[in-house]
Structure 1
């Protein structure tokens, strides 16, 4: 099992609109594609931040599912987000492999 973690840094000026877009568009589109293993969290920090930070984790069964996500699904989101929010929303992806305990 694999997990794609996407960390987002969001400028407060676009935060509410970005959050609505993610909740109303991107997350439902993931579920419609059969990706139900989704965890969306806000990263909390003791430091005063001038932005919001979030983590989105999507569970994928195998590397074929990861390739589909990395080559088709996420680029659709990224293209739209760049057009709408520019550099006010930044992100990076990490691929994790679950290790049995």
Structure 2
């Protein structure tokens, strides 16, 4: 399993607009059929400039699925983000190879 992580940083004043757009963007990425699920998170760090940072984690079943996304879908979807936000949002991408996944079962009380 592979996690495709996109971390984005922006001025706090852009946060609401970006979040609204991002929720639609996540639906488009998942609509490719190449990811199992996605998680949108806020990076809990206080930036000195007061900016906001978010992380979107997409889970792919294989490296091949991620490569297919890069080839067939990523260029157009990234271009949409650039067209909408230009250099007002700084994003970087990370690929993570999932080794193990753990879940709590039962009652934690």
What TM-score do you get using the length of structure 1 for normalisation?
A: 0.84
Instruction: Indicate the SS of the match to 2:71.
Output: helix
Q: Which runs of 5+ in 2 are unaligned?
A: 102-109
Q: Give the whole-Å Cα distance in 2 for the aligned partners of 1:14 and 1:93.
A: 20
1:33 aligns with 2:15: no
Structure 2 partner of 1:5: 5
Instruction: Indicate the SS of the match to 1:44.
Output: coil
1:94 aligns with 2:90: no
Moved over 3 A (4+): 46-49
Deviation at 1:40, TM superposition (A): 0.8
Structure 2 partner of 1:45: 45
Report which structure shows greater RCO (CA 8 Å, sep ≥6): 1
Deviation at 1:15, TM superposition (A): 2.2
**Retained in 2: the 8 A contact 1:5–1:56?**
yes
**Retained in 2: the 8 A contact 1:6–1:57?**
yes
**Retained in 1: the 8 A contact 2:4–2:95?**
yes
Q: What CA RMSD, in Å, does the superposition of the two structures yield over aligned residues?
A: 1.9
How many residues in Structure 1 have an aligned counterpart in Structure 2?
100
Structure with the greater alpha carbon radius of gyration: 2
